[in-house]
Amino acid sequence: MGTRASPKARAAKKNAAQHATIKDVARHADVAVGTVSRVLNGNKTVSPSIRARVEIAISTLNFAPNSIAQGMRSGAKRSVGIILRDITVPALANFVKSAQNVFQEAGYTLVVGASEDRPRREVELLESLSRRLDGLIMTSACEDNVQLTEMRSALKIPIVLMDREAPPHIDSVLIAQRDGMHRAVSHLLDLGHKRIALVTGSTTVLSGRERIGGFIDAHRDRGLTPAPELICSDSFAADYACMAVSSLLLTAERPTAVVAGGVNMLPGILRAVSTEGLRIPQDISIIGCGDSDLAELMNPPITVIRWSYSAVGEASAKLILDRIRSPGAPRRQVRFPTELLIRKSCAPPPA
């Protein structure tokens, strides 16, 4: 029967593990210090067997690399930023959480900022954050903002755009918004709707253009032309959605269905419909964009165009890390599919 180590001995061992150095790891794994450094930095030139030995040594010694010291030696800050349009949107929280998990595993700290769809705010965030970051994931309120484009081009850090494609030399992660909107509108046309309204963001951003394109394509496939007044495309905000739908519902020929073209627009649409005392789907059919607790728990539950924000966040984080490690690699563009999740908020139009 072995003897149990004294509390003092166990504390000494734990203290030694907490202060293990990179040299201790190298000695334990029987490799050079440079090899340990390459493993810590995710260098793919290290063979799997040696990487496994180093990782076992790191785990055994409870080694925690000093990221600040690493950054001082390499010029890296070990921080990555995300600039989002609106950090209050629940769906985007899944995006941030998944990205953060990837960054944390790679030893990076995540910094998050909100642009509030204001181009000037985006410029301010770029000016303040870019000096402290190794890379940046961002959306933009306007893809043809010359000042923002010039600033991004001048930055010495890699950038990944989320659901944006301009400027074209920057890596991007895209969502098949055109296809998703085509499916949604086709579903409503199949039910017999002729006056379908789309409320979405500006055509100065890719997602707005793609959704309008899918809306028009679905009509054209059936030899139809949507009424221009039924396409409202000024903002992704819920308040704008409420105002736009409220105006449409007061017209002589109000729409019999409304499609949200943004992840934060459904609450505004529902508010407008409720204010007018309309029933879903008896009086009006509704399709949301991006799944949410609100869409699932509404009575009736709302049909939505959905995709995995968690998968998009994970892919965006891995893409920026790849770009940090291989700055000269060719431009990459990753596209995620959408699907139409049919619930009970759509029915044939009222007689």
Domains of the chain in start order, with CATH, are 1-35 (no CATH), 77-175+309-336 (3.40.50.2300), 177-307 (3.40.50.2300)
Task: Tell me if residue 260 falls in helix, strand or coil.
Answer: strand
Report pLDDT for 219.
Answer: 98
* pTM (two decimals): 0.77
pLDDT in tens, 34-51: 788 778 777 777 888 888
pLDDT at 9 over 60: no
Q: Please enumerate in sequence order all residues whose Cβ is within 8 A of that of 190, keeping only pairs 6 or more positions apart, or say none.
A: none
Q: Which of the given ranges, 52-66, 110-124, 206-220, has the highest pLDDT on average?
A: 206-220
pLDDT tens by residue, 76-121: 568 999 988 887 888 888 899 999 999 988 888 899 988 887 888 8
Determine the longest span between alpha carbons in the chain, in angstroms.
90
Helix (H, G, I), strand (E, B) or coil at 221: coil
| pLDDT value, residue 1 | 44
**Does 162 score more than 80 pLDDT?**
yes
Q: Residue 68 pLDDT more than 90?
A: no
Task: Kindly give, in sequence order, each residue whose CB lies less than 8 Å from that of residue 86, ignoring residues fewer than 6 positions away.
Answer: 92, 114, 116, 117, 236, 264
Check whether 74 has a pLDDT greater than 70: no
Count of CB atoms situated within 10 Å of the CB of 341? 16
Task: Give the C-alpha separation, 122 to 85, whole Å.
Answer: 9
Q: Mean pLDDT of all residues in the chain?
A: 87
- Per-residue pLDDT band for 54 (boundaries 50, 70, 90) equals confident
Helix axes 90-105, 309-325, angle to 10 degrees: 40
**Per residue in 292-339, pLDDT tens?**
999 999 999 999 999 999 999 999 999 999 998 888 888 899 999 999
Beta pairing, strands 159-162 & 135-138: parallel
User: Cα–Cα–Cα angle for 260, 209, 329, nearest 5°?
Assistant: 115
Lowest mean pLDDT among 19-33, 205-219, 263-277: 19-33
Q: Model confidence at 286, in pLDDT bands (50, 70, 90)? A: very high
Q: Higher confidence at residue 226 or residue 132?
A: 226
Q: Which pLDDT score is estimated for 89?
A: 82
